[in-house]
Structure 1
Amino acid sequence: MIRYKAIISYDGTDFSGFQRQPRQRTVQEELEKTLQRLNSGQAVVVHGAGRTDAGVHAYGQVVHFDLPQARDLEKLRFGLDTQTPDDIDVISVQEVSEAFHARYNKHYKTYEFLVDIGRPKNPLLRHYATHFPYPLTLALMEEALPDLLGTHDFTGFTAAGSSVINKVRTIKAAELRFDKDKNLLVFTFSGDGFLYKQVRNMVGTLLKIGTGRMPVSQIKTVLETKDRTLAGPTAAGNGLYLKEIIYEE
């Protein structure tokens, strides 16, 4: 068997997330259906670097899969790209060692979160940015962001339903940019892994800090107490993008 690594992007609007689910349309299932056609009807299992929830988008999701023989890489990429639905794009395909695993090889992920702060909201962004209509003080959020950096137990930023026991993660970058022309806030987070809805809960907390309804110190409080009820609401998934995954050698 030959192992292939692919980088894909997708518009998550009409997907129930990345991972295969009964009676739901998912990115994994669409990729597997296409690979089965390209593999003479034989089933192919796709492994993703991480799950994305319903409505969440990706610029740089990484997957791997095995095929019984070597393929021309560009022909394989082209076949996948043209035979998957239009809301999936296959950016690149490469042959990798059988030891490579998209999920378990050590890597860092970068997520972006877009918030439309225009009033009225931009209807063209309704699937691609979370609208937030309340006045915000950017300086308050910028002051709070550094408190997320480093290695912490992020239990307080995890949604109920997470089965992960170890909730310690390291965030190495947390940034906020304001695109004045588009009335967009762009949050960027890079780390060694993120818990279920962690990014959306961090953004929800930062936005509440930005309104002045939570103190700048609230990030520290949530990390110290590990109490989810002290964090802000979960921001909607339509603003979230899996931007990039970098593997360590």
Structure 2
Amino acid sequence: MFRYKAIIAYDGTNFNGFQRQLNGRTVQGELEKTLSKMANGQAIIVQGSGRTDARVHALGQVIHFDFPEKRPLERMRFALDTQTPEDIAVKEVEIVDETFHARYLVQEKTYQFRLDIGKPRSPFRRHYASYYPYPLDLEKIQQALPDFLGTHDFTSFCASGSSVEDKVRTIYEAKMTIANEDEIIFTFRGDGFLYKMIRIIVGTLLKIGNGRLPADSIPKIIAAKDRNQAGPTAHPEGLYLVHVGYEALDNE
């Protein structure tokens, strides 16, 4: 068996998430069906760098799988890219050591969250940006963002249903970019993120920008370790997994 690492992108609109489920269409499920066909019916298991929820997108999700045949890399990439559904793209493929694991060796992840603030809303972005129709003070949001940087217990920003006990994470980058007059992009880079953590962070920042929380409230919310202290969970369609970093491979 040969271990392949692949970087994939997908439009999460019509998926129930990345992880295989008993019911519902998933990215992992579609990839495994295609790979099994390519392997003449042999079951192929795909491992991802992490889960993404329903309607969440990816520009740089990383997967690995063991395949019984060593193929030229572009041939493998092209076959996988063209035989998977049109809402999945396979960007890169390489053969890696059998010790590589897409999930367990992750060093950092980068996510972006796109927010449509246009009036009226754009019908063409409805699946690719979360819409927020209310007034926002962007200076207050900018003031609050640096308070997320560093190592903290992010229990207040973790949705219920998580089985993870250690909720300490380190955020290296938290910034807001005004893409144009109708769209804002949040970027978060860290060593890992909890269940729905980024969507809760964005929901909290929007509450600050709308004047319903003070701009200096983030340290208090973090210290409380109480999900009820943070803002609502932002809608999933604005969230993108942009990059997954591996120290040994990426030299990051």
TM-score in terms of structure 1 length: 0.98
> How far is 1:68 from its partner?
1.6
**Is the contact between residue 64 and residue 101 of structure 2 (CA under 8 Å) also seen in structure 1?**
yes
Partner residue of 2:30?
A: 30
Report the 3-state secondary structure (helix = DSSP H, G, I; strand = E; otherwise coil) of the residue aligned with 1:17: coil
Question: Would you say how many aligned residue pairs link Structure 1 and Structure 2?
Answer: 248
CA–CA distance in structure 1, aligned partners of residues 236 and 132 of structure 2: 13
Partner residue of 2:152?
A: 152
**Is the contact between residue 204 and residue 232 of structure 1 (CA under 8 Å) also seen in structure 2?**
yes
Partner residue of 1:62?
A: 62
CA–CA distance in structure 1, aligned partners of residues 243 and 8 of structure 2: 10
CA–CA distance in structure 2, aligned partners of residues 180 and 57 of structure 1: 21
Q: C-alpha deviations, 1:21-57, integer Å up to 9, x for none?
A: 0121000000000000000110000000010000000
Partner residue of 1:208?
A: 207
Q: Structure 1 counterpart of 2:194, which letter?
A: L
User: Following superposition of structure 1 onto structure 2, how do residues 59-138 of structure 1 map, counting pairs within 5 Å?
Assistant: 59-138=59-138
Instruction: Give ranges in structure 2 of 5+ residues lacking alignment.
Output: none
Report the 3-state secondary structure (helix = DSSP H, G, I; strand = E; otherwise coil) of the residue aligned with 1:22: coil
CA–CA distance in structure 2, aligned partners of residues 179 and 75 of structure 1: 37
> How far is 1:69 from its partner?
2.5
Do structure 1's residue 238 and structure 2's residue 230 form an aligned pair? no
Q: Structure 2 counterpart of 1:19, which letter?
A: Q
**Is the contact between residue 112 and residue 242 of structure 2 (CA under 8 Å) also seen in structure 1?**
yes
**Is the contact between residue 107 and residue 245 of structure 2 (CA under 8 Å) also seen in structure 1?**
yes
Q: Structure 1 counterpart of 2:11, which letter?
A: D
> How far is 1:106 from its partner?
3.4
Report the 3-state secondary structure (helix = DSSP H, G, I; strand = E; otherwise coil) of the residue aligned with 1:244: strand
Q: C-alpha deviations, 1:70-123, integer Å up to 9, x for none?
A: 111111100000000000000010000000000001321000000000111001
CA–CA distance in structure 1, aligned partners of residues 11 and 245 of structure 2: 21
**Is the contact between residue 218 and residue 231 of structure 1 (CA under 8 Å) also seen in structure 2?**
no
CA–CA distance in structure 2, aligned partners of residues 123 and 142 of structure 1: 28
**Is the contact between residue 106 and residue 244 of structure 2 (CA under 8 Å) also seen in structure 1?**
no
Report the 3-state secondary structure (helix = DSSP H, G, I; strand = E; otherwise coil) of the residue aligned with 2:66: strand
Instruction: Give ranges in structure 1 of 5+ residues lacking alignment.
Output: none
Percent identity between the two aligned chains: 59
> How far is 1:180 from its partner?
2.1
Q: C-alpha deviations, 1:193-243, integer Å up to 9, x for none?
A: 000000000000001100111001221111100111111100000000000
CA–CA distance in structure 2, aligned partners of residues 16 and 146 of structure 1: 33
Report the 3-state secondary structure (helix = DSSP H, G, I; strand = E; otherwise coil) of the residue aligned with 1:110: strand
TM-score in terms of structure 2 length: 0.97
**Is the contact between residue 3 and residue 96 of structure 2 (CA under 8 Å) also seen in structure 1?**
yes
